[in-house]
Amino acid sequence: MGERLAIEITTIRHGSSIFPVGLTVFDLDGLGGIYIPGAINRDVAKASADRSMQTLGVTTLSDSWGAQAAGAGIEAAKGLFSKKVKLVKVNLKAGYAILLKDEKQKDN
């Protein structure tokens, strides 16, 4: 989908009741999902960071506790950094207009 955020709505709360639904979100341009400018740039940055973290490592010929601890610390940091890079946050302004398609309705 490139620079679009796909959204599916499976439940709606009305008062104290929850109703199952099957709604798909479309932007006002009629395409599925919401247009998110710059999403491709974030994907490229995320992929670059992933590759960078994969190449980082400690090569040592020593079997000492210190070398093993350093290696474990670097692996933990790689995992943490990789997870933080993969988070992509999207903020929409209040009142953002969308179109909803009921996937349970048959197309006529």
Q: What is the pLDDT along the chain (108 residues), one digit of tens a residue?
A: 467 888 899 999 999 999 999 999 999 999 998 888 765 445 544 554 555 445 444 454 556 666 656 666 666 666 655 555 555 667 778 898 999 999 888 765
CA angle (35, 37, 40) in 5-degree steps: 105
Q: Are 26 and 96 in contact (CB under 8 A)?
A: no
First-to-final CA distance of the chain? 26
d(CA 39, CA 3): 5
